[in-house]
Amino acid sequence: MKKLLFIFLIAFLVFVQQSRAQNGSLSVKTRVSEEVQNEYESSGRIFLFVSTSQMDQPRRNTWPNKSNMIFAKNLENWKKNDLFTIDASEEFTKSVDISLDELPVGRYTVQVLWDQDRQESRINAPGNLYSESVRIDLEANQQLELELPMKFKIEPQLLAEHQLLKEVDYESPLLSEFWNKEMRVKAAVLLPSSFYSEPDRKYPVRYNIAGYGGRYTRANRFVQWDKSFLDWWQSDEAPQIINVFLDGEGPFGDCYQLDSENSGPYGTALIEELIPLIETQFRGIGTPESRFLDGCSTGGWVSLALQLFYPDFFGGCFSYSPDPVDFENFQLINIYRDENAFINEHGFLRPIVREISGEPVVSQKDFIQFENVLGWNDTYTTSGGQFSAFTALYSPKGEDGLPNPLFDPETGEIDREVAERWRKYDLKHYVETNWETLGPKIQGKIWIWMGDMDEFYLNPALRAFNKMLENTENPKSDAIIQFEPMTGHCSGYNNMKVLLQIEEKWKTNQK
């Protein structure tokens, strides 16, 4: 018996020694190049990306995943050409539960980013600096030195040049007053093929909202990369509709095109400033019946919300895979009943992303930990990510001037008072509560599509929303809601299809 215990002890010690030997330590020294002149801010947030993927630019991979580890820290008065060392001796906010001296031996891509921009909400914003990407084989301890040169400064996204594609860029009086500084609103306008040949003609308008954080420059794809769409768009077969691509950028992530206590009056600016400007400049018909909304994911929710909150201003919405439309089914969280966002009532980590097969991929806890590291206050409320935007739109402003979090960024404990304040944007609650006056105004204006194996668990909320509409009276809702079995997020969305849907709806509205 003693011999067996001795053999077991030796084997255990060998295992421990081998386990220790399988970890390495990474140290990265970084500096801002002397050539960076007037475009350098000495205060900001330093990011180190350590990725096991083959992605050339790990800084672009800011979606929660185990293959990309992020370490971040705020720095004040960091002088150019002064070396700053990123290693285990410094305290960093991390997207993973390991330190830089606990990295498993393996092959990594390493990159540094200096986030010195406070104008845009996400870290890959114009003016920020990044290093080259370096591939390393980490076997034990390794030291790198990565410079942040001028040639790796992130440049602004620009709209492509094409006779049918136009940019709208103006200072918003409403948003500038709210923020007490210049705030600009941008959009891209794709004109119909007959716009120049028929100078007296006026057109219906499609207002497209992107998936999360989509910029107005996404319109470039239609004139630069998607030849089949451009050929169709310039043919006689395409609908004669003005396309407006709204900009998703906001102070805390996606602005969601609605008024909020934290981001400001984006909804009012859209209705009272941007849309009148576009329809006047580009010959929009300018009636509610001629304005249409569409989008997928975030765009799906925003298009539906705008139709519901401004029912007399728009003539119909085509919403695909919308974000949660019922906060009792906020993905897998019931924000009014559950105690914790991370752990469900059975004691299990709550997933937030799955495969179409149903296999969980990312937990709510890991998702938030990833956003915490992106936020300049070390929490998701300033990350520029999905929950940063949710919180900015739905939550009241806190005493610190930032959005009040729905749940604790470390423990997941839900704040019941904040949850009650979210009801204002709970679309199921809003429609159900206001049906007597709202119902008649949205008849014939609601069309929604959802995959019943949505990767983000969005289908239960829409099921609840649909059930509520089925029970309406005076009037009985005529909303069209389609569920497609064993289908995932946004897989039913197609720009050509949506334009044809809008064309058909416009013809109906004219009768």
Where is average pLDDT lowest: 15-29, 96-110, 119-133, 378-392? 15-29
| Angle (deg, nearest 10), helices 386-394 and 364-374 | 90
- Per-residue pLDDT tens for 408-461? 999 999 999 999 999 999 999 999 999 999 999 999 999 999 999 999 999 999
For the segment 138-150, what is each residue's pLDDT rounded down to a tens digit?
Answer: 887 889 999 999 8
The answer to whether 313 and 286 are in contact (CB under 8 A) is: no
Query: How much is the pLDDT for 336?
Result: 98
* Residue type at position 231: D
> Which is nearest to 305 in space by CA: 252, 267, 362, 265?
267
Topology, domain 165-326+426-510? Rossmann fold (3.40.50)
Phi, psi of 471 (to 5 degrees): -95, 5
Q: Taking residues 470-488, what's their average pLDDT?
A: 97
Average pLDDT taken over every residue of the chain: 93
Whether the per-residue pLDDT at 12 is higher than 80: the answer is: no
**Do the beta carbons of residue 208 and residue 295 sit within 8 Å?**
yes
pLDDT digits (tens, 9 = 90+) for 336-355: 999 999 999 999 999 999 99
Residue with the two structure tokens 């969980």: 360
Amino acid in the structure at residue 272: E
Interval 173-190 mean pLDDT? 97
pLDDT at 416: 96
pLDDT tens digits, one per residue of 213-242: 899 999 999 999 889 999 999 999 999 999
Whether the predicted pLDDT of 402 surpasses 90: yes
Instruction: Give the C-alpha separation, 328 to 338, whole Å.
Output: 9
Give the pLDDT of residue 492. Answer: 95
Cα 149 to Cα 57, 71, 113, 128, 326: the distances in Å are 15, 20, 11, 11, 47
Beta sheet of 184-190, edge-to-edge order: 165-171, 184-190, 242-246, 205-209, 291-296, 317-320, 446-451, 480-484
Q: What percent of the chain has pLDDT over 90?
A: 85
Q: How many CA atoms lie within 13 A of 159 on its CB side?
A: 21
Pairing of strands 317-320, 291-296: parallel
Report CA 246 to chain centroid distance, whole Å: 14
Query: Is residue 272 within 8 Å of residue 259, measured between CB atoms?
Result: no
Q: Domain 22-152 maps to which CATH number in 1.10.860, 3.30.70, 3.40.50, 2.60.40?
A: 2.60.40
Compute, in degrees rounded to 10, the torsion defined by CA atoms 341, 61, 65, 212: 40
Q: What is the pLDDT of residues 267-299, one digit of tens each?
A: 999 999 999 999 999 999 999 999 999 999 999
CB-count exposure of residue 423 (10 Å: 0-12, 13-18, 19+): middle
In this prediction, residue 48 has a pLDDT band, given cuts at 50, 70 and 90, of very high
- What residue ranges do the domains of the chain occupy? 22-152, 165-326+426-510, 328-424
Amino acid (one-letter) located at 312: D
Interatomic CA distance for residues 245 and 187, integer angstroms: 6
pLDDT reported for residue 5: 38
Helix (H) or strand (E) holding 86: strand 84-86
**pTM score:** 0.93
Which pLDDT value is given to residue 18?
41
Asked if 437 and 430 count as a contact pair (C-beta separation under 8 A), the reply is no
Q: What is the pLDDT of residue 140?
A: 78
For residue 21, count CB atoms less than 10 angstroms from its CB and return exposed for 0-12, middle for 13-18, buried for 19 or more: exposed
Closest CA to 307 of 439, 463, 499: 439
Residue 4 pLDDT greater than 50, yes or no: no
Rounded mean pLDDT, 61-73? 86
Single-letter residue type at 39: E
pLDDT of residue 3: 42
Which helix or strand (DSSP H or E) is residue 2 part of? helix 2-21
pLDDT of 67 reads 84
Q: How confident is the model over 497-505, as a mean pLDDT?
A: 96
User: What is the average pLDDT across 61-81?
Assistant: 88
**Cα–Cα dist 226/218, whole Å:** 12
Report the share of the chain in percent with pLDDT over 70.
96
Helix (H) or strand (E) holding 448: strand 446-451
**Residue 156: Cβ within 10 Å count:** 9
Strands (DSSP E) along 76-227, which ranges?
Answer: 84-86, 93-94, 103-104, 106-115, 129-130, 134-138, 141-148, 165-171, 184-190, 205-209
pLDDT at 66: 77
10 burial (CB, 10 Å; 0-12 / 13-18 / 19+) is exposed
- Phi, psi of 259, deg, nearest 5: -70, 140
* Confidence (pLDDT) at 366: 95
Tell whether the model's pLDDT for residue 1 goes beyond 80: no
Beta partners for residue 242, in sequence order = 205
Q: Is the predicted pLDDT of residue 19 greater than 90, yes or no?
A: no
